[in-house]
Amino acid sequence: MSNDISYDDVVVATIDVLKRAETTLSEDVIEALRKARDSESSPVAKEQLEAILKNIDIAKRNEIPICQDTGILIFFVEMGRELNINFNLESAISEGVRKATRSIPLRPNAVDPLTRSNSGDNTGDGIPDIKYSFSDGKKLKITVAPKGAGSENMSTIKMLNPTETSQIRNFILETVLKAGGKPCPPIVVGVGIGGSFDKAARLAKASLLEEMTEMDEFESSILNDINSLGIGPMGLGGNTTALAVHVKKAHCHTASLPVAVNIQCWANRHASATLGGDE
């Protein structure tokens, strides 16, 4: 079986997705921010949203990061089952991260958890964080979702009792209320329900990649409840505390009910590149 994807291809693709994710936002996120600005009744909130939109435009025009916190780097890699790769994929992605850190540039954010020593290039033990999934065919899809500390620090998980399904909504609302303006609202709220302790957290983070407007009745009702809290853009009050709520579920043990809430700031950054394909 031939190999159509090289080490250098992955390095270049990694740099590309990082450049796009850090300097631009997808149109669905921008449109959600525009709608929030247009519907806001608070003049202060409207000004904050207008400033955010101007920031996005300046970053795109000048090809500079949207935020000074360029985040910890989370990758979602989807591999075709028929894909043949004869090199170290993680090494190629890490090399792309190191080069992108210098060229974009990105703030070096990766530190040893105990010594706080900075690697200087956004790589280190277990970082970048790479999550794998598999699909049919020969394609390799690389998605990056940079995650800033302001929002990540407000995320949480709770092991509810199996009888406490009615408490899931309250837990989400309490998490957002406690976060207040710290995660730079308007936020996007990712929720993982079920699985195991770590599975729920992974579901919550992956849900942040969903299209902003694609919400079911449960998600929309939680979004309405969050926006009734009045926290508003940057915590200064208003109708828009969150832009979207996305929930992913997994079957769990009969004796447990894990629930994770992963908060994302208004800069819901992510970008993808696809390499290879079927002949």
Q: Report the domain count for the chain.
A: 1
pLDDT in tens, 149-171: 999 999 999 999 999 999 999 99
**Is residue 15, in this structure, part of any structural domain at all?**
no
> How many whole angstroms separate alpha carbon 87 and alpha carbon 115?
32
What is the rounded average pLDDT of the residues 62-83?
A: 97
* Alpha helix stretches (DSSP H) within the chain: 7-23, 27-39, 43-62, 89-103, 149-152, 168-179, 197-207, 217-227
Residue 206: domain span: 149-264
- The 8-class DSSP code of residue 165 comes to G
**Is residue 213, in this structure, part of any structural domain at all?**
yes
**Is residue 240, in this structure, part of any structural domain at all?**
yes
What is the rounded average pLDDT of the residues 202-231?
A: 97
pTM score, two decimals?
A: 0.94
**Is residue 50, in this structure, part of any structural domain at all?**
no
209 within 8 A of 78, measured Cβ to Cβ: no
**Is residue 239, in this structure, part of any structural domain at all?**
yes
**Is residue 259, in this structure, part of any structural domain at all?**
yes
Q: Does the pLDDT at position 1 exceed 50?
A: no
pLDDT band at 278 (very low <50, low <70, confident <90, very high): low
> How many whole angstroms separate alpha carbon 105 and alpha carbon 3?
32
pLDDT band at 3 (very low <50, low <70, confident <90, very high): low
**Is residue 223, in this structure, part of any structural domain at all?**
yes
Joined tokens for residue 101: 């850190």
pLDDT band at 243 (very low <50, low <70, confident <90, very high): very high
Angle between helices 43-62 and 27-39 (to 10 degrees): 150
